[in-house]
Amino acid sequence: MQFVDRLLTCVDCGGEFIFTAGEQLFFFDKQFKNDPKRCKPCKSRRAGAAAMRNGTGPAAAGISRTETRTHCSECGIETTVPFKPTQGRPVLCRQCFQNKREPAVAASVTAEPTAAEASPQPIEAVPPVGAAPVDVNAALMVVSATATQITHARSA
């Protein structure tokens, strides 16, 4: 199905706004039946007023989301971030942030288990004939300590 930008009229302010092909594709994918009635400024104004009436959302708490213009520490392009950058901390654009995040996530997913984790050695409950007697409580404490170390190593 082919989508083309369309010009619509806002029911609140009467101004015209563009219903882009991308937005139409989104509406189609979500199976929305009606075209949008309001332009983006009127829609956000209405959503903010509804949040104030219901007492929900950041607008009701008196918090406004600030966007700060800055330059990406990695590639140098100008970007906006939803926080005030602090001195000495790198600020990344969306693309650089995603690129930095992907290798870390992939490394944690594909990490190979160590030899101890891959094939833990079973503890025999009955010692072989002629072997010295085994203190079962001591053996259980060793197993418990080893399991705790493996758990902590995996979570680190």
Tell me the domain boundaries of the chain: 6-60, 68-109
Rounded to whole angstroms, the Cα distance separating 26 from 3 reads 11
Q: Which is more confidently placed, 104 or 59?
A: 104
- Please report which confidence band the pLDDT of residue 28 belongs to, taking 50, 70 and 90 as the band edges: very high
* pLDDT exceeds cutoff 60 at 122: no
By C-alpha distance, which of 119, 156, 123 is closest to 137? 123
CA triplet 124, 144, 135: central angle to 5 degrees?
50
* pLDDT exceeds cutoff 80 at 9: yes
Instruction: Tell if the pTM clears 0.75, that is, is over it.
Output: no
Half-sphere exposure of 121 (CA within 13 A, CB side): 7
What is the per-residue pLDDT for 2?
Answer: 87
CB atoms under 10 Å from CB of 24, counted, come to 19
Q: Which residues lie closer than 8 Å to 125 by C-beta, 6 or more apart?
A: 136
DSSP conformation class of 4: -
CA triplet 38, 44, 47: central angle to 5 degrees?
100
* Whether the Cβ atoms of residue 94 and residue 79 lie closer than 8 Å to each other: yes
pLDDT, tens digit, 9 for 90 and up, residues 56-69: 666 555 666 678 88
Rounded to whole angstroms, the Cα distance separating 139 from 147 reads 12
pLDDT, tens digit, 9 for 90 and up, residues 81-101: 888 888 888 888 888 888 888
Residue 41, both tokens? 């400024």
- Please report which confidence band the pLDDT of residue 27 belongs to, taking 50, 70 and 90 as the band edges: very high
